[in-house]
Amino acid sequence: MQTGRTMLKDITIGQYYQAQSLLHRIDPRVKIGGTLIYVITLFFYKNFVGYAMAILFLALVIRLSKVPFKFMVRGMKSILFLLMLTVLFNLFLTPGTPVISFWKLHITQEGTTLAVSMVLRLTLLVIGSSLMTLTTTPNNLTDGMEKMLGFLKVFKVPVHDVAMMMSIALRFIPILMEETDKIMKAQMARGADFESGNLFARAKALVPLLVPLFVSAFRRANDLAMAMEARCYRGGEGRTKMKPLKYQTRDYLAYLLLFIFAAGSIWAGRLHLPMLMVGLNN
Amino acid sequence: MSIIVEHLSHVYGDDTTLAVKALDDINLTIPDGQFVGIIGHTGSGKSTLMQHLNGLLKGSSGHILFDGQDIYAKDYQLKDLRRQVGLVFQYPEHQLFEIDVFSDVCFGPKNLGLSKEEIEERATNALKAVGMPKEYYNQSPFDLSGGQKRRVAIAGVLAMNPKVLILDEPTAGLDPQGRQEILDLIKSLQTESKMTILLVSHSMEDVADYVDRIIVMNHGRIAFDGAPKEVFAHYKELEEMGLACPQVTYVMHDLKEKGFDVDVNATTVEEAKNSILRALRRES
């Protein structure tokens, strides 16, 4: 028996894990910038020493974040298929010295190392970036982005408005999910069936769910716009913040640590170590 | 036909830091035809309990017997249960979706796979039962007033011909007259259609005049269970839970304290009036 709540709880967009940790307190700009640097760094490695360093670094950061490891793994489920596909293609389609051959398929030495490095890279990528959303509230995240992209205002990009839209959208995800859950249950109580039948029947079964959901979304949007206008909201011009983002000593230290990691692991990751090279580069 | 709940518990968010025990070892027996008020403040578990009774939520442990059958048994058809236990959610008007009132009420019976004539007959009866005049049948449900929308939504559940009707805060957001009308309508469903009614509310005042029995929920447990008079006798404990008794209960207790020989168990204004008049007559 699957009920609405259990069906929807696997979605992890903008999932935030409440905890008291250094990583939670750090400035969101550091976390966004840091994640970006970390992700780019992952693409420079040519040997497994680099990956080892990245794993070590990630383990340290996860430790600091106090978020249980199973929350990171949850994000992995969504890319499991992609991961397997990558492994298959890399294993069989990389030219090089064959290790095992059967029929027309050859598993090459180069393919094996390439597949392993791809899995490592993707896993590190997903866990690393989900760590950012797990330790930063959506509001903090958009705040940081607004500040980081502030320079675009010079080119007449409405940075504030976009950031506001994003934070409202993120804010509404849990509300709309709850609403969906509620309407789904209400229609199920009237005998609606969302789970059986062919594709066409299922799509048709969504009408009693989607119509009320849209009606309520529009009603909520209307109410929110009214409430914002009643409090004199008129865009970002001259608007001040209750909690302006300000770099602390720990934020500079975090940047320093990140830089050391990036520089160090790229240097080590590009050393020529014959036994530990990835793929075709030896 | 009865509902028996045995040692039912429910935990939300099992694997997070925010695990909440919404229901904690609930035991209940609800006989046929009873009008039960379920009272508790926000987060007391009353809505969660109601959703268990028609199988929308499954308990973490415990059993629910409907009509002698365990609804968690493997071969039990939850669809049958949902047909027999109608559930009207809070703000039910938010679930309306069809282009006109009549088709929206037809949605339930249509899902049961009935014939066209029977569907229409049921919808007509349900709309009659909630007192919606015929001229509204072809209107869009979105053009109706709040109170009318709610009646249509309740009709949508009634058209399933349930034996048990559960209503979650059916009077929330209605004006006093609309509230009165909805409550009278629910009472008539019990007396005329012999339905078992479970009415969830946070207002004692609302239910005191109507129900046979009150169950008070607090922190996922049943705090009190009994006839309104018995429950209101605990008015001090109820207050600690953040629940207010009907105002007459306070007046009667105050009068008693001041030395008037009145009946503190009066729950309705009418009873209170009679009791006070009697006391005054005796004094003079």
Residue B173 near residue B52 (C-beta atoms within 8 A): no
Cα of B179 to nearest chain A Cα, Å: 21
Give dist(CA A124, CA A105) in Å, integer: 29
Tokens at A106, concatenated: 């050859």
- Position A111 scores a pLDDT of 85
Task: Look at B107 and A207 and tell me if their CB atoms are within 8 Å.
Answer: no
Give dist(CA A74, CA A230) in Å, integer: 41
**Tokens 């930063």, residue located:** A136
Tokens at B235, concatenated: 């008015």
pLDDT-flagged residues of chain B (< 70):
1, 14-18
Cα of A19 to nearest chain B Cα, Å: 9
Cα of A161 to nearest chain B Cα, Å: 30
Kindly list the distances between the CA atom of residue A25 and the CA atoms of A136, A217, A230, B278, in Å, as whole numbers in the listed order.
Answer: 9, 33, 33, 68
What domains does chain B contain, in order, with CATH numbers?
Answer: 3-245 (3.40.50.300)
Task: Look at A190 and B54 and tell me if their CB atoms are within 8 Å.
Answer: no
pLDDT tops 80 at residue A13: no
Q: Mean pLDDT score of chain A, rounded to an integer? A: 84
Task: Look at B56 and A185 and tell me if their CB atoms are within 8 Å.
Answer: yes
Cα of A114 to nearest chain B Cα, Å: 36
Residue A177 touches partner B, C-beta closer than 8 Å = no
Query: What is the percentage of chain A residues whose pLDDT exceeds 90?
Result: 25
- Position B20 scores a pLDDT of 77
Q: For residue A210, what are the domain limits?
A: 4-281
Across A13-22, A47-56, A166-175, which has the greatest mean pLDDT? A47-56
Task: Look at A18 and B18 and tell me if their CB atoms are within 8 Å.
Answer: yes
Give dist(CA A38, CA A130) in Å, integer: 13
CB atoms within 10 A of CB A263: 11
Residue B140 touches partner A, C-beta closer than 8 Å = no
Assign B228 to helix, strand or coil.
helix
pLDDT tops 80 at residue A275: no
CA angle A23/A28/A32 to nearest 5° reads: 100
- The string of pLDDT tens digits covering residues A36-81 is 999 999 999 888 889 999 999 999 999 888 888 888 777 777 788 8
**In this complex, which of A183, A188, A207 lies closest to B94 when CB atoms are compared?**
A183
Q: Which residue has the higher pLDDT, A5 or A275?
A: A275
Indicate the range of A81-95, A98-112, B228-242 predicted with least confidence: A98-112
Q: Name the nearest CA neighbour of B8 among B22, B21, B27.
A: B27
- Position A5 scores a pLDDT of 41
Mean pLDDT of A127-150: 87
Residue A29 near residue A151 (C-beta atoms within 8 A): no
Residue A215 touches partner B, C-beta closer than 8 Å = yes
The residue type of A186 is A
Distance of CA B13 to the CA centre of its chain: 26
pLDDT tops 80 at residue A186: yes
Task: Look at A215 and B94 and tell me if their CB atoms are within 8 Å.
Answer: yes
- Position A222 scores a pLDDT of 94
- The string of pLDDT tens digits covering residues B192-233 is 888 999 999 877 777 888 899 999 999 889 999 998 888 888
Kindly report the backbone phi and psi dihedral angles of residue B150, in degrees, each rounded to the nearest multiple of 5, phi listed first.
-65, -40
- Position A2 scores a pLDDT of 37
Residue A208 touches partner B, C-beta closer than 8 Å = yes
Beta bridge partners, A20, equal none
Complex ipTM tops 0.90: no
The residue type of A157 is V
Cα of A219 to nearest chain B Cα, Å: 11
Task: Look at B87 and A189 and tell me if their CB atoms are within 8 Å.
Answer: yes
Mean pLDDT of A254-262: 92
By CB neighbour count within 10 A (0-12 exposed, 13-18 middle, 19+ buried), where does A234 fall?
exposed
- Position B106 scores a pLDDT of 93
pLDDT-based confidence at residue A11 (cuts at 50, 70, 90): very low
Chain A hits for B96, CB-CB cut-off 8 Å, are 212
**What are the contacts of B242-249 at 24+ separation with CB within 8 A?**
B242/B41, B243/B39, B243/B40, B243/B41, B243/B202, B243/B204, B243/B216, B244/B204, B244/B205, B245/B204, B246/B204, B246/B205, B246/B208, B247/B205, B248/B272
Assign B37 to helix, strand or coil.
strand
- Position A95 scores a pLDDT of 78
pLDDT tops 50 at residue A127: yes
**In this complex, which of B86, B96, B142 lies closest to A189 when CB atoms are compared?**
B86
Cα of B259 to nearest chain A Cα, Å: 51
pLDDT tops 80 at residue A219: yes
- Position A14 scores a pLDDT of 54
Residue A192 near residue A208 (C-beta atoms within 8 A): yes
**DSSP letter for each residue of chain B:** --EEEEEEEEEESTTSTT-EEEEEEEEEEE-TT-EEEEE--TTSSHHHHHHHHTTSS--SEEEEEETTEETTSTT--HHHHHHHEEEE-SSGGGG--SSSHHHHHHHHHHHTT--HHHHHHHHHHHHHHTT--GGGTTS-GGGS-HHHHHHHHHHHHHTT--SEEEEESTTTT--HHHHHHHHHHHHHHHHHH--EEEEEES-HHHHHTT-SEEEEEETTEEEEEE-HHHHHTTHHHHHHTT-PPPHHHHHHHHHHHTT----TT--SHHHHHHHHHHHHHHH-
**In this complex, which of A190, A191, A216 lies closest to B94 when CB atoms are compared?**
A216
pLDDT tops 70 at residue A129: yes
Instruction: Please give the tally of structural domains in chain A.
Output: 1
Mean pLDDT of A104-133: 86
Task: Look at B97 and A208 and tell me if their CB atoms are within 8 Å.
Answer: yes
Give dist(CA B158, CA B193) in Å, integer: 11
Chain A hits for B89, CB-CB cut-off 8 Å, are 182, 185-186, 189
Give dist(CA B3, CA A265) in Å, integer: 65
**Following CA atoms A55, A60, A62, A66 in sequence, which dihedral angle do they give, to the nearest 10 degrees?**
160
| A-B C-beta contacts closer than 8 Å | 69
**Helix residue spans in A136-158 (DSSP H):** 138-148
Chain B hits for A211, CB-CB cut-off 8 Å, are 97
